[in-house]
């Protein structure tokens, strides 16, 4: 028997590498404010990242092949105030309009929330295909494990 287990990323000492993993599935539930991204990692293992309490997200260029260069995830990645402001503005932008600029003070507030673990900022930098950023309340790694029987 196989079961799924979800672990908050803050509780994972050795977060697995998603370099060259392929984004193969997206499940979004706006009513529940959840988002799940499924990846096939190098070697064939499939794992998912589950976002809860989604505040905002943006995804562009999802194509036939979507390969990860790197994932930037707070607090594992120490975003600067400028990076936070840039990514939050990008999340709130569209192809035909640029989102409102985020002030330095607001960026600093977000930095404090990210460091305290009250919010998570996630950025998928692509090798090819999809680029994505998500601001949410929590992020978990969802893995498939064999259940004891």
Predicted confidence at residue 40, as pLDDT, reads 94
Least confident of 17-26, 61-70, 81-90, 139-148: 139-148
Predicted confidence at residue 3, as pLDDT, reads 61
- Average pLDDT score over residue span 54-64: 95
Report the chain's mean pLDDT, rounded to a whole number.
89
Q: Are the beta carbons of 82 and 107 closer than 8 angstroms? A: yes
Tell me the residue range of the domain where 124 lies: 2-146
- Average pLDDT score over residue span 94-100: 79
3 state SS for 92-139: CCECCECCCCCCHHHHHHHHHHHHHCCCEEEEEEEEECCEEEEEECEE
Q: pTM above 0.85? A: yes
- Average pLDDT score over residue span 71-84: 92
Residue 31 has pLDDT above 70, yes or no: yes
From CA 5, how far away is CA 140, in angstroms rounded? 9
Residue 35 has pLDDT above 90, yes or no: yes
63 has which bridge partners?
A: none
Predicted confidence at residue 144, as pLDDT, reads 65
Q: Cβ–Cβ contacts within 10 Å for residue 91, how many?
A: 19
Predicted confidence at residue 137, as pLDDT, reads 96
What's the number of domains the chain is made of?
1
Summarised one tens digit per residue, pLDDT across range 107-125 is 888 888 898 889 999 999 9
**Higher per-residue pLDDT: 4 or 126:** 126
């Amino acid at each position: 028997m196989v079961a799924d287990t979800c672990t908050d990323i803050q509780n994972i000492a050795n977060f697995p590498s998603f370099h060259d993993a392929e984004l193969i599935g997206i499940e979004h539930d706006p009513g529940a404010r959840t988002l799940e991204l499924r990846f096939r990692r190098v070697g064939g293992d499939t794992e998912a990242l589950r976002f809860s309490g989604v505040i905002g997200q943006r995804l562009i260029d999802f194509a036939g092949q979507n390969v990860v260069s790197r994932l930037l995830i707070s607090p594992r990645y120490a975003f600067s105030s400028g990076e936070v402001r840039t990514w939050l503005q990008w999340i709130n932008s569209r192809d035909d309009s640029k989102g409102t600029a985020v002030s330095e003070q607001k960026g600093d507030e977000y930095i404090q929330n990210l460091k305290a673990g009250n919010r998570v900022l996630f950025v998928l930098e692509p090798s090819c295909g999809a680029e994505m950023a998500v601001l949410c309340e929590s992020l978990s790694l969802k893995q498939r494990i064999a259940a004891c029987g």
